[in-house]
């Protein structure tokens, strides 16, 4: 009897050679093999009578060989085997190219099942190179067949055969990970049934039962694992800041915080005072004022003499946060510093020294603050902004800089709650569900080229009223170099031909950090009317006087990206506009959604539907195990169900010690092992 971890080359019937081919697909063990799920299915379950066939369809027939197969050598490298078959209703000719052995395997007078594409004309039907097997064998025909994602050197039939050999081995050794209470409550099939039927479904109902069970299992195990982690983390103790008077922070602000901001700040304070390290995700739509919440937490730990690290994904953002936080926090006596990759060695050294001495209270920077040699005296709080740009492992690198420091993660890409629970499952989640007062929804229009002149005039009008505008220029290619050229050409045209009388500036990703800062700072000071830019501007940039966002070739952007870009305007009290240039104007589905709503959560739900969860859930982004079967856009309902089931199970058995939960516990441990980096 084999184990699931047995290497495939030791499975009966699978030799070294095939194991090598399987390796290319990432299949090493028996478990890998049976978890290599079909990408589609081919329904060959219905046998058709020959007289009902029409050319160009693909079908199964059961027919008798009525003429002895004839082999002919047409020329070197081309052999044909031809034969005639018939059933009750009709007959047809079958041809095999370059399969001379077929002559001896098809015997006149015997019935076979064939599956293939029908050719010829309605009066002279034929089939070329069909798949066949003796009548009733039901391995390749007469059933629903799996279709796998394969390489050229390993065909579907051979792979299906391999899968059968694998499945023959799992009888009795496949652990039932789902506790029987869960299986019963959610009407889920047994593991054994599920693995057989996901590959070789007995019928379509069995297939959907199998799939549901496996999707549920995958999401359930993950949900349990993440909750388990949360518990484990809670065992550690965190630094507890002394109680501080946050109203001092509030009264130093030029405006009063929204109710949502206050609520989130209160949540963070009670987290930090709980004795456990805080791990909190702050989700809020663009412009909801996440920075202020982070600043409040930094002030709070500062009152106990602790330091904060604040990490932003780009230099522009780090620079901007530095400006904002310095204004907000230095009047309160905090020393705010910036560390970025582009600073001189000397500047960096000075910062590092001051940091180690504890002279700096909050250090803002890009990932440069992760580099070794950057040591804090007593780091108590780590904040990462625009989380989707950081991997989970970077997140953990930062927390290693202190003793279980508190952690705040700010995400500017609102994602549906269910999904957030999975992706950020080990974090507690706060949502800022209220925008600062006086914000008006950004009015959005999808337009085609016919509107160009009008938009140009509109831009002039806004600029004459003292406002500023962004023009995001076309993305041409994957290649940075080509994009750069496009941006520069576009810039020249805007500057010299379209707006020769206005102040037009250019910002793109290839500029040196110092140049970027320079351009951004001058735009912020109002020294340019129009900023031509690429998507470097996408995240976080805050210039409240800018009220127009024009996006060229909007069809090339994803919804979340469009929403981020639009979020650069509508940040002050002036009415703001977003113009989406697009070949098919408002008829473009994404543009249509953008025109309909400003709500980031709704948009991300739509995005998920259109784009699939890959971008949200690609393992590269967050270090979670890759989903083998669950499709998070289609399986949202199962996700919620699995999540609730996980919560319920762990409530009853928090350390999974009940005998019926042991297989689950082992599975979770395996998952931990495999993804240790992600979970530390």
Instruction: Name the site residues for ligand ADP (rule: CB under 6 A).
Output: 255, 257-258, 261, 284, 286-292, 412, 436, 540, 542, 544, 571
The nearer residue to ligand ADP, 201 or 257, going by C-beta atoms, is: 257
CA distance 192 to 190: 6
The nearer residue to ligand ADP, 242 or 248, going by C-beta atoms, is: 248
The nearer residue to ligand ADP, 289 or 623, going by C-beta atoms, is: 289
Distance of CA 325 to the CA centre of its chain: 31
The nearer residue to Mg ion, 38 or 540, going by C-beta atoms, is: 540
Using CB under 5 A as the binding rule, whether residue 570 contacts Mg ion is answered as no
What's the min distance (Å) between Cβ of 232 and ligand ADP? Answer: 31
576 binds, among Mg ion, ligand ADP, none (CB under 5 to 8 A by kind): none
What's the min distance (Å) between Cβ of 291 and ligand ADP? Answer: 3
CA distance 426 to 415: 16
CA distance 330 to 320: 15
CA distance 35 to 198: 10
What's the min distance (Å) between Cβ of 365 and Mg ion? Answer: 15
DSSP code of residue 110: -
CA atoms 610, 613, 616, 619: torsion sign? negative
What's the min distance (Å) between Cβ of 537 and ligand ADP? Answer: 13
The nearer residue to ligand ADP, 287 or 446, going by C-beta atoms, is: 287
What's the min distance (Å) between Cβ of 583 and Mg ion? Answer: 32
What's the min distance (Å) between Cβ of 286 and ligand ADP? Answer: 5
The nearer residue to Mg ion, 483 or 598, going by C-beta atoms, is: 598
CA distance 458 to 555: 22
The nearer residue to ligand ADP, 201 or 436, going by C-beta atoms, is: 436
What's the min distance (Å) between Cβ of 246 and Mg ion? Answer: 21
426 binds, among Mg ion, ligand ADP, none (CB under 5 to 8 A by kind): none
Say if residues 208 and 189 touch (Cβ distance below 8 Å): no
The helix, strand and coil proportions of the chain, stated in percent and rounded to the nearest 5, come to 45, 20, 35
Beta-bridge mates of residue 80: 72, 97
What's the min distance (Å) between Cβ of 412 and ligand ADP? Answer: 6
Neighbours of 437 (CB within 10 A): 9
613 binds, among Mg ion, ligand ADP, none (CB under 5 to 8 A by kind): none
CA atoms 87, 91, 96, 101: torsion sign? positive
CA distance 271 to 280: 9
The nearer residue to Mg ion, 141 or 387, going by C-beta atoms, is: 387
Give the contacts of 163 (CB within 8 A, at least 6 positions apart): 33, 34, 36, 146, 199, 200
Please pick, from the candidates 287, 540, 570, 585, the single residue that binds Mg ion as defined by CB under 5 A. Answer: 540
CA distance 203 to 144: 7
The nearer residue to Mg ion, 436 or 540, going by C-beta atoms, is: 540
Using CB under 5 A as the binding rule, whether residue 287 contacts Mg ion is answered as no
CA distance 336 to 317: 15
661 binds, among ligand ADP, Mg ion, none (CB under 5 to 8 A by kind): none
Residue closest to ligand ADP (Cβ): 289
What's the min distance (Å) between Cβ of 336 and Mg ion? Answer: 17
CA atoms within 13 A on the CB side of 547: 20
Contacts to Mg ion from residues 383-422, by CB under 5 A: none
Residue closest to Mg ion (Cβ): 540
**Both tokens assigned to 272:** 């930090």
> Which stretch in 204-212, 535-543, 588-596, 631-639 sits in contact with Mg ion by CB under 5 A?
535-543
Note the residues at the interface with Mg ion (CB under 5 A).
540
């Amino acid at each position: 009897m084999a184990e699931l971890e047995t290497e495939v080359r030791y499975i009966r019937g699978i030799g070294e050679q095939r194991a090598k081919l399987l390796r290319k697909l990432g299949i090493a063990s028996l478990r890998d093999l049976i978890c290599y799920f079909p990408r589609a299915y081919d329904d060959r379950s219905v046998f058709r009578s020959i007289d009902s066939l029409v050319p160009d369809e693909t079908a199964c027939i059961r027919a008798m060989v009525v003429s002895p197969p004839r082999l002919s050598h047409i020329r070197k490298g081309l052999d044909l085997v031809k034969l005639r078959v018939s059933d009750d209703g009709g007959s047809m000719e079958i041809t095999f190219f370059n399969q001379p052995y077929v002559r001896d395997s098809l015997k006149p007078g015997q019935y076979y099942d064939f599956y293939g594409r029908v050719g010829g004309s309605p009066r002279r039907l034929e089939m070329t190179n069909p798949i066949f097997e003796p009548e009733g064998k039901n391995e390749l025909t007469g059933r629903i067949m799996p279709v796998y994602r394969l390489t050229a050197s390993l065909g579907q039939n051979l792979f299906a055969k391999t899968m059968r050999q694998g499945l023959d081995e799992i009888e009795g050794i496949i652990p039932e990970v789902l506790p029987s209470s869960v299986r019963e409550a959610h009407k889920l099939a047994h593991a054994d049934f599920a693995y057989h039927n996901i590959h070789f479904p007995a019928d379509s109902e069995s297939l959907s039962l199998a799939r549901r069970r496996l999707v549920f299992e995958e999401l359930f195990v993950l949900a349990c694992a993440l909750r388990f982690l949360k518990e484990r983390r809670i065992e550690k103790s965190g630094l507890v800041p002394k109680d501080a008077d946050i109203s001092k922070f509030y009264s130093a602000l030029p405006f009063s915080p929204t109710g949502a901001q206050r609520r989130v700040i209160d949540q963070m304070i009670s987290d930090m005072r709980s004795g456990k390290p805080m791990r909190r995700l702050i989700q809020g739509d663009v412009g909801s004022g996440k920075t202020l919440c982070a600043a409040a937490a930094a002030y709070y730990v500062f009152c106990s003499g602790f330091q904060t690290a604040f990490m932003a994904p780009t230099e522009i953002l780090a620079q901007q946060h530095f400006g904002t936080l310095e204004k907000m926090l230095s009047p309160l006596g905090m020393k705010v510093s910036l560390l970025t990759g582009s600073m001189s060695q000397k500047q960096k050294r000075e910062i590092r020294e001051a940091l180690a001495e504890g002279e700096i209270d909050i250090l803002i920077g890009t990932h440069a603050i992760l580099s070794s040699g950057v040591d804090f005296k007593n780091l108590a709080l780590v904040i990462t902004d625009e989380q989707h740009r950081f991997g989970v492992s970077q997140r953990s690198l930062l927390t290693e800089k202190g003793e279980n420091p508190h952690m705040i993660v700010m995400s500017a890409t609102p994602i549906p709650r269910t999904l957030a629970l999975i992706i950020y499952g080990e974090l507690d989640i706060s949502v800022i569900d209220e925008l600062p007062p006086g914000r008006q929804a950004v009015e959005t229009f999808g337009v085609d080229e016919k509107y160009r002149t009008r938009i140009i005039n509109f831009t002039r009008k806004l600029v004459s009223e003292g406002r500023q505008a962004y023009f995001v220029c076309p993305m041409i290619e994957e290649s940075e170099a080509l994009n750069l050229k496009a941006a520069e050409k576009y810039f020249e045209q805007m500057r010299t031909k379209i707006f020769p009388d206005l102040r037009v500036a250019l910002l793109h990703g290839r500029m040196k950090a110092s140049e970027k800062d320079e351009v951004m700072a001058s735009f912020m000071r109002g020294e340019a009317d129009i900023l031509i830019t690429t998507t470097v501007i996408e995240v976080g940039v805050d210039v409240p006087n800018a009220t127009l966002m024009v996006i060229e070739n909007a069809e090339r952007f994803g919804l979340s990206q469009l929403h981020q870009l639009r979020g650069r305007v509508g940040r002050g009290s002036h009415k703001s506009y977003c113009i989406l240039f697009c070949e098919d104007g408002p008829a473009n589905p994404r543009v249509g959604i953008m025109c309909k709503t400003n709500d980031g959560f709704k948009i991300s739900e739509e995005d998920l539907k259109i784009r699939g969860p890959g971008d949200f859930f690609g393992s590269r982004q967050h270090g979670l195990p890759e989903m083998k079967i669950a499709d998070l856009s289609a399986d949202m309902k199962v996700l919620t169900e699995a999540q609730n089931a996980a919560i319920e199970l762990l409530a009853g058995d928090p350390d999974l010690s009940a005998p019926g939960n042991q297989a689950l516990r082992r599975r979770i441990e395996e998952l931990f092992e495999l993804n240790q980096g992600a979970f530390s």
